[in-house]
Amino acid sequence: MRKVLVAVAGCCLLLASSIARADMPGDPLSWLGRIASAAERVNFTGTFMYQSGAHSETSRIAHRVDEHGQFERLEVLDGSPREVIRVGSEVRCVLPDERTVIIDRANSRRVFPVRLPETFGSLAESYRISKGRVSRVAGYEAQAILLEPRDNLRYGRTLWAERQTGLLLKSRIVDEDGGVVEQITFNDVRIGGEIGEELLTPRFEYNDSWRVVHAGGNEIGREETGWGATPPLPGFAPVSAMKRPLGQDRGEAIHLVFSDGLASISVFIEPLSAEAPQDQLGEQSNGAINIYKRAAHGHLITALGEVPARAVRRLGDAVQPGAH
């Protein structure tokens, strides 16, 4: 899974400059392709706001791509301090208050402004995709792309892409009634130009006394997991399977990912301990993420994703051993 970026960094830079000069595409699928690649190939820095229900927070981000690969620093400016540092294919999430560092792979993250996969497959089977109006976001002209779900198992989305580069400037998720579930938007952003080392230098230092969590798992074949979903959730196909460590003396969890090409649902399957609190089973939510937990076959099954609650429940209930 680990991507080697150094060998292709020069090509990425050339592609980034050519994107800025290219004619703007007319069809919405081409716009989605530009959005998917721009955040990986364009230098930018700015602040953006995340809003979900009554919760909001502001983050500062700087991203640089050069002949040595990709570098990024994201700092949450509200509440408890958090910092995410990317160097090449590795991401470190630093939590100073908890004296904890979480190490993961860069390609496991789909956070703003990287909100789309590199390929879309049969996305049009699950969404009606169209171009919206051009409007201004953070001082730039932005093309709106609308994704309207064809059923009630996924949310609707609107994406606003900067017209010259395709960089995502704003993202909105809405429920079936049109209510805003989540919105992320740049308050200010500078696209292109040099990104100095001072913008990428970590603010927080840590040492050997901190707890280090290696979140990256080992990818395995889906047939090796011994688990699957029957019946499958319409429009969602299995896209990856891995084993992730649970911590000292706790063994491993199986992590399955199902996707419709845009939204994804993660399913974690771990041995059920006798101490597991039963009152935490059932449906929960955390912002735009819905969570469903059930105990079955001697395991705790947790399904979660930025999809309606009915979708995570249906998939969570469908997961069972021996299904593929």
**pLDDT more than 90, % of the chain:** 62
Q: Does domain 217-321 bear CATH number 3.30.200.100?
A: yes
Looking at 1.25.40.10, 2.40.50.100, 2.50.20.10, 2.102.10.10, the CATH number of the domain 6-200 comes to: 2.50.20.10
> Tens of pLDDT along 38-68?
988 999 999 999 999 888 999 999 999 999 8
Residue 28's φ and ψ, nearest 5 degrees, are -65, -30
User: Tokens in use for 52?
Assistant: 């979900």
Rounded CA separation 16/93 (Å): 27
CA angle (283 as vertex; 278, 286 as ends), nearest 5:
115
**Binning pLDDT at 50, 70 and 90, where does residue 291 land?**
very high
- Find the mean pLDDT for residues 308-314: 97
Per-residue pLDDT for 94 more than 80?
yes
* pTM for the full predicted model: 0.84
- Say how far residue 137 (Cα) sits from the centre of its chain: 22
pLDDT at 308: 96
Nearest to 83 by CA among 207, 210, 202: 202
> Where are the CATH 3.30.200.100 domain residues in the chain?
217-321
Residue 112 confidence (pLDDT): 85
φ/ψ of 40, rounded to 5, equals: -95, -15
Tokens of 224: 């090796």
Closest CA to 41 of 5, 2, 74, 92: 5
Distance CA 138, CA 117 (A): 24
- pLDDT tens for 157-178 read 999 999 999 999 999 999 999 9
Q: Write down the pLDDT at residue 234.
A: 94
* CATH 2.50.20.10 domain locations along the chain: 6-200
Parallel/antiparallel/unpaired status of strands 252-259 and 44-52: unpaired
Task: Give dist(CA 61, CA 189) in Å, integer.
Answer: 9
Strand 168-174 relative to strand 180-191, pairing:
antiparallel
Round to whole Å and give the CA distance between 108 and 100.
19
The C-alpha atoms of residue 126 and residue 236 are separated, in whole angstroms, by 9
Whole-number pLDDT of residue 216 = 73
Q: What is the pLDDT of residue 249?
A: 64
- For 6-49, the pLDDT digits (tens) are 232 333 333 333 333 345 667 898 899 899 889 889 999 999 99
Q: What pLDDT score does 247 carry? A: 67
Mean pLDDT over each residue of the chain, to the nearest integer: 86
129, pLDDT greater than 70: yes
pLDDT for residue 261: 87
Looking at the DSSP assignment, which residues form a beta bridge with residue 229? 319
- pLDDT band, residue 109 (cuts 50/70/90): low
Which has the minimum average pLDDT: 36-40, 210-214, 277-281?
Answer: 277-281
- Cα separation, 29 vs 146, in Å, equals 11
**With bands split at pLDDT 50, 70 and 90, how would you rate the model's confidence at 243?**
confident
Residue bearing tokens 């606003």: 160
Residue 294 pLDDT > 50, yes or no? yes
